[in-house]
């Protein structure tokens, strides 16, 4: 690990001011992903800003009947919150599908959204990776790609986003609230927060340098039946090969989001119009632009079967 300086910020304003004064600085809370990357010298920030003391760890109701989740709410606390379990069950189930109990006790809402891919070629500094070293190439394209993305990929990168929480938040129409170094605030729909790789896979989200996530807000509860299904190689502490989040209303309308298949949570609202025709029609619409390799082509069929099982459960 390369040397770095460290400070504890006393307020959100102080945190973003310090980030502006230290180009390349990183915010740290749980550190469940950042510290691993620092040990491998994939992330090499010269300055760390500890944001754990900023008071952003509350879950509060909003005036319109929604929910505001502080950036520092731990994943375990969010999954256990009575309002989340009752009104946003999809989120609670997705959170409990992620990582392990120990990691959920440390991981934060903002950190979960910002975690980086678990592509093995990204973690291996002896191999080319455009996320790690732009312009070096993508070893996964000609390598072992069983766990990689089939949607939203490019010639520069086929890595998948690892978050379960983000898939549920996408289905719930979440909005990310931020504070910029100049003191201004903004709100970003989660649909626009994560970026597809294109020719710049190292640019993974829409945050500006030094911009701090302060909360995630959810609109009023969508109602309906909530189901989250995750297919993985083992029952715990494993990332999704395919994950499906569905919300189905009594009249048959609903929402569908996928995980494990794209560089961001994957939802196509147009595909949801196919729900009355069944899982196969929805999957066909979702996968219309899929680009597979020999190792990950199985994911197209796995999406269809997992979606069918999730919809059957939601409609039962």
Whole-number Å distance between alpha carbons of 60 and 217: 9
Average pLDDT, the chain: 97
Q: Residue 165: enclosing H or E segment and its boundaries?
A: helix 165-171
DSSP 261-301: SSSS-B--HHHHTTGGG-HHHHHHHHTTT----TTTTHHHH
Q: What residues have CB less than 8 Å from 141, skipping those under 6 apart? A: 155, 158, 293
Q: For residue 46, what pLDDT band results from cuts at 50, 70 and 90?
A: very high
Output the pLDDT for position 236.
Answer: 86
Q: Is the pLDDT of residue 277 over 90?
A: yes
pLDDT at 10 over 90: yes
Match 């269809």 to its residue by tokens: 304
**Residue 245 has what pLDDT?**
98
Cα–Cα distance for residue pair 188/114, rounded to 1 Å: 14
Q: Give the pLDDT mean for 143-171.
A: 98
Question: How sure is the predictor about 82, in pLDDT bands with cuts at 50, 70 and 90?
Answer: very high
Which helix (H) or strand (E) element contains residue 244? strand 242-248
pLDDT of residue 81: 98
Average pLDDT over residues 297-310: 98
% of residues, the chain, pLDDT over 70: 100
Q: Say how far apart CA 67 and CA 61 lie, in whole Å.
A: 5
Give 240-271 pLDDT, tens digit per residue. Answer: 999 999 999 999 999 999 999 999 999 999 99
Residue 256: its pLDDT value, please?
A: 98
Buried-state track 274-302, b at ≥16 Cβ within 10 A, e below 16: bbeeebeebbebbbeebebbeebeebbeb
């Amino acid at each position: 690990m390369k040397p770095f300086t460290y400070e504890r910020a006393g307020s959100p304003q102080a945190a973003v001011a310090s980030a502006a004064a230290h180009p390349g600085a990183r915010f740290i809370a749980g550190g469940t992903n950042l510290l691993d990357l620092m040990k491998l010298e994939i992330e090499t920030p010269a300055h760390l800003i500890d944001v754990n003391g900023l008071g952003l760890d509350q879950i509060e109701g909003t005036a319109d009947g929604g929910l505001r989740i502080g950036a520092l709410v731990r994943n375990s606390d969010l999954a256990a919150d009575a309002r989340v379990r009752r009104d946003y069950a999809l989120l609670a189930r997705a959170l409990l599908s992620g990582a392990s109990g120990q990691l959920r006790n440390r991981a934060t809402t903002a950190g979960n959204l910002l975690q980086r891919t678990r592509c093995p070629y990204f973690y291996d500094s002896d191999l080319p990776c455009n996320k790690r070293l732009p312009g070096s190439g993508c070893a996964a394209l000609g390598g072992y790609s069983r766990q990689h993305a089939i949607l939203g990929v490019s010639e520069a990168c086929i890595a998948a986003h690892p978050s379960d929480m983000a898939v549920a938040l996408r289905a719930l129409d979440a909005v990310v609230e931020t504070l910029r170094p100049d003191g201004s605030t903004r709100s970003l729909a989660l649909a626009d927060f994560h970026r597809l790789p294109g020719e710049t896979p190292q640019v993974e989200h829409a945050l500006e340098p030094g911009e701090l996530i302060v909360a995630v807000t959810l609109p009023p509860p969508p109602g309906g039946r909530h189901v989250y299904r995750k297919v993985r190689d083992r029952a715990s502490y494993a990332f999704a090969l395919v994950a499906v989040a569905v919300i189905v209303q009594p009249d048959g309308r609903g929402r569908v989001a996928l995980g494990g298949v794209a560089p961001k949570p994957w939802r196509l609202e147009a595909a949801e119009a196919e729900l009355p025709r069944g899982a196969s029609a929805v999957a066909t619409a979702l996968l219309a632009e899929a680009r597979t390799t020999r190792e990950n082509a199985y994911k197209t069929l796995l999406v269809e079967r997992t979606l069918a099982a999730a919809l059957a459960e939601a409609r039962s």
